[in-house]
Amino acid sequence: MNQKSDKTFYITTPIFYVNSVPHTGHAYTSVLADIIARYHRSLGEETFFLSGTDEHGQKIVRSAEKAGMEPQSFVDKNAKSFQDLYEKLNVSNDAFIRTSDRKAHFPGPEKLWRIFEEKGDIYKDVYQGLYCIGCEKFMSERDLNEEGKCPDHDEFPQVVEEENYFFRISKYQDRVREAIEIDELQILPASKKEEVLGLLKEPLEDISFSRPVGTVPWGIPVPGDPTQMMYVWCDALSNYISALGFGREGDKNFQKFWPADVHIIGKDILRFHAIYWPAMLLSAELPLPKKILVHGFITSGGKKMSKTLGNVIDPNEYVEQYGTDGFRYYLGREVSPFSDGDLTREKFVESYNGNLAHGIGNLFSRTTKMAEKYFNGSVARTSGVSAPLLQDAVGFGEEAPIYHVPYYFEHRVLPEYMEQMDALAVNEAADAVWDFVKVLDGYITDYEPFKLIKTDKEKTELVLWNVLYGLYVLSDLLAPFIPEAAKEIRHSLGAKLGDTPTETTFTVKPPKKPLFQKIESDEA
Ligand code: MSP
């Protein structure tokens, strides 16, 4: 990889509510987006990776009051806990947008609002209905449980009658449906595309687009009407373009990066990303995002994480105990982006020990040790190999030639990895890497360099060169998932990440400590 490319790549996470501190669900969205962003950077694409926080609304006001703080200081404090987590998780976002940022964010939604108004897509009306502050959304009777409470928050919704601005979403329904049907706006996985198309079969009701200042004093005032605050749709969804400079002087990032290549979202926010946001963009005559990846939920022991159940997993704990790469690995490899994924200590430890401490860690440690012991760390590609012979090798058959690792990598591992990464199936791309680890382990088992050294030094060097080469190219593929360990592998082989594999001589220095320390059962 590490080619040059003229392409740009724009990827976003949702912006997180800052009414509480981040949990593992938030960590998942971010790590998933980070893996994809790092992969695109490695392809040489100019990449912009955006994340941020959603800081307005009634729920924030309520949480701030409980904490005895002003909304601004409250959101400042909690936004920081998201940014701190990003540091810990080694998330490589290029920008972090906060919706309470008057300079960076407000001009975007304000400009959008004015455009909608000019188009005649906004009108004022009286809204009567039920509102759940926990969800920050208007509810219909259908959304409530038998007691008439919000099932997610176990609270009765408020009965509200108020003046709101409405957005004429109905006007764009057909166009949104068509864009999704023909994958102009691709929704992944296919089951989520179907879900959205199902929602689009019924006529859409226009959506409430503002709330009275008296009820929601903390937000972005509606341009030209100080009695109303923008409701979450225009305030929050607009972050994807405000962060690029839309609405501000010098919007060159907007010109360069919009439309987004991928919006990453969780399944609970599908409706407004797949229907409301495209409708807003159509109204503003802006291009639609190319893809929306809808991931599942991280469950804790098979159950939804909730404060009531007391099973909320704090990502900080895992990172502190098992390291950033260990935690990133689990989220990238053991969770499919297309369905729910479970995290428990047992599952974590089993996968970590099997695939990191043992798997890649063990392969790396024994290969580098042999290189040092038998060849003083300097392992050359011996003369027995020539390029044409490499072309003949077809993989690992019974009579497999011993000079085939580069060939196997180029023809089997890399295409599979890239195909899965391009399809956003990052866990399957990681599987391709660990399949390769197994192949390299098998290669050592077959050629037994630790015995061969006694009879044939030249052939042993060739065998070790091949495995080192395998580790060398592997580290590039691992870098989006476990960036620090990948760097360490390259470093120990005397090469930098991103170096193009050549017919190189490896200058090996085995690391002083294991790449991944095994977790003993009393530490789990
Ligand atoms: N602020 C809105 C999004 C506005 S985007 C313009 C929001 N925030 S959130 O903090 O509640 O959720 C942020 C993301 O975290 C969502 O994609 C949500 O699906 C995801 N997750 C929340 N809990 C989750 C799990 N347990 N597992 C995986 N992701 C989950 O919604």
Max intra-chain CA distance, the chain: 89
What pLDDT sits at residue 498? 58
Give yes or no for a contact between 478 and 515, defined as CB atoms under 8 angstroms apart: no
Q: Side by side, which strands form the sheet with 137-139?
A: 137-139, 122-132, 158-167, 207-208
Measured CA to CA in angstroms, residue 181 lies from 62, 174, 197, 200, 292 at distances of 41, 10, 8, 11, 13
Is the CB of residue 229 below 6 angstroms from any atom belonging to ligand 1?
A: no
- Atom 23, ligand 1: which residue's CA is nearest? 25
Is the CB of residue 29 below 6 angstroms from any atom belonging to ligand 1?
A: yes
* Ligand 1 geometric centre to CA of 14 (Å): 7
- Tell me the CB-side half-sphere exposure of residue 233, using CA atoms within 13 A: 29
* Ligand 1 geometric centre to CA of 238 (Å): 16
C-alpha span between 199 and 345 (Å, rounded): 38
C-alpha span between 24 and 306 (Å, rounded): 11
Is the CB of residue 349 below 6 angstroms from any atom belonging to ligand 1?
A: no
pLDDT digits (tens, 9 = 90+) for 176-188: 999 999 999 999 9
C-alpha span between 250 and 123 (Å, rounded): 31
- Atom 20, ligand 1: which residue's CA is nearest? 266
pLDDT digits (tens, 9 = 90+) for 35-93: 999 999 999 999 999 999 999 998 899 999 999 999 999 999 999 999 999 999 999 99
Residue 108 pLDDT exceeds 50? yes
* Ligand 1 geometric centre to CA of 23 (Å): 10
Catalytic residue numbers, as ranges:
23, 26, 132, 135, 150, 153, 304, 307
CB atoms under 10 Å from CB of 480, counted, come to 25
3-state secondary structure (DSSP) of residue 458: helix
Taking the chain, what is the end-to-end CA distance rounded to the nearest angstrom? 37
Residue 406 pLDDT exceeds 90? no
What pLDDT sits at residue 388? 36
- Atom 17, ligand 1: which residue's CA is nearest? 266
* Position in ligand 1 atom list of the atom nearest CA 277: 6
pLDDT digits (tens, 9 = 90+) for 425-441: 999 999 999 999 999 99
189 preceded by cis ω (within 30°)?
A: yes
Residue 255's identity, in one-letter code, is Q
C-alpha span between 451 and 87 (Å, rounded): 45
- Pocket probe mutation, ligand 1, options 55, 112, 269, max atoms within 8 Å of Cβ: 269
pLDDT digits (tens, 9 = 90+) for 251-262: 999 999 999 999
- Reported as a pLDDT band with limits 50, 70 and 90, residue 4 is low
- Tell me the CB-side half-sphere exposure of residue 299, using CA atoms within 13 A: 10
Q: Give the lowest-confidence range in 220-234, 355-369, 380-394, 431-445.
A: 380-394
- Pocket probe mutation, ligand 1, options 13, 16, 23, 242, max atoms within 8 Å of Cβ: 16
The pTM assigned to this predicted structure is 0.93
DSSP 8-state assignment for residue 303: E
